Structure 1
C-alpha cells in the first residue's frame, strides 16, 4: 500500500505568539514519528512567523485562499502570497467555510484548481452534516463534493490529501466510530476507483477529521483506509504529539 500517514493540525482562529511558541516548542520536543507527515494550519496573520520558527520537517498550511493570484479582493490571500512567505500547503473546503461562509462545491473546486496551479499542496475537505447523515445521504454528499474536485485536480493528485470530516463530529465531542469512519473512507476510495482511476484510489491519502483525540487516534489510525487525521482543537494541545504518533 505504502501511503504515508499524514496528520494535519487545523488551529482555526486560535493562538497568539505566546501560545504559538508553546505549540511549536512542544512539536520540537516531540518526538514525532519520522514516518508521519505533519502539517499545521495556521491563521494567515501568523503564517510567516510560524514558518520562521517551525522545523523544516513540519509543513505549514494556510487555512483558506482565494481563486486568483492578486486583485481587488479585500481581506483575501492568494496562493502566491502563501508561497511567498514560505508556506507550502492550504486547507480548502473546510466544513466551516462551507457552512458559515456559504462556500459551494464549485467555488471550492475553483480554489483547489488555482492553488494547485500555483504550486501549493492542498488538503481538500469533504463531509456531511448531521441532517444529511440521518437522512442516509452520507455517500451522496461526499461523492458530490468529491466529483466537483475531479476536474480541478486533474492529474495533480500527488499534491492533494482528501480530508473526510463528518460535520456533526467536529467540535461536538461526537466521533464517528472507527467502523463508521472506515466505511466512508472505503466507499470513497471505491468511488474514486470508478470515477477517477484505480491508481488514484489506491494512492490518494484520505484523512479523517472529526473530534480526533489521543484517546481514539490509535483505533482510527489502524483502519486500512484511514491515512491520517485533520485535527482541530486537539492540535492546540500537547496531545497532538500522541495523535501524530498514533500508528507507531
Structure 2
C-alpha cells in the first residue's frame, strides 16, 4: 500500500522538522511545551508538565565520560526521529496529549493519526503548538485511512499507541513484519492506571543515546601516558 502524495509530502516535512527540533536543547523544547501547557485544560497541562519534568530529570543532562587516551567523551540523548501517535476512540484527551508531549520533549516530530470519532480537536492542538513556538511541521495530522501504509515506511522510527491490548499486539505484528529499519511500539493498554505513561521512565522509550568524542591532544593521545611508556634503559 503506497502513500498518497499528500502524506508523502507531510512525511518529508516531518523528517526535516525532527532534525531542526532535535537540534534545540532540552531546556528550549521544555520552555516551549510549558507555554503550550498553559493553553490546555488542567489534566492535560499536568501531563505535559509531568513529562517535561521527567525528561529534565532522566535524559536532559549531558554525561561526561573518562577519556583514557586524552579525548573528550560526552554521552547525550536525542530523539529517534518521526513518531506516529495514535489511540483508540475511547482514550481520554490528556492521555494522547501525554504521548505527544513526551515525543516532542525528547526531540522527535509527531505524525498524529486519530479516527474522526476521537474527541481530541487536532486543529486546535496544531494552532496551540504553533503559538507556543514549536518548529513548523513538528506536529502534523494524518488521516486514519493512511495509518497502515504510513507505519510501513522505513522513515517512521516508532509508534506510540494507547488503547486495547489486542490492538497493541496487532500493531506489534505489523511493525515486526515490515522491511528495513526496526520500529519500536510504545503502548499503553491500562487506561485506568496508566502504568506506562505515568512512569517517570516513559521518556526513555522516545530517545536514543549518542556519544560525542573530541580529540583534544596535539599528538592524538594523552601526552603523559605516552611519556610513561618511554623509560630509560641502561
Structure of higher CA gyration radius? 2
Common fold: TM-score over 0.5 = no
Give the number of the structure with larger relative contact order, counting CA–CA contacts within 8 Å between residues 6 or more apart.
Answer: 2
TM-score by length of 2: 0.32
TM-score normalized by structure 1?
Answer: 0.30
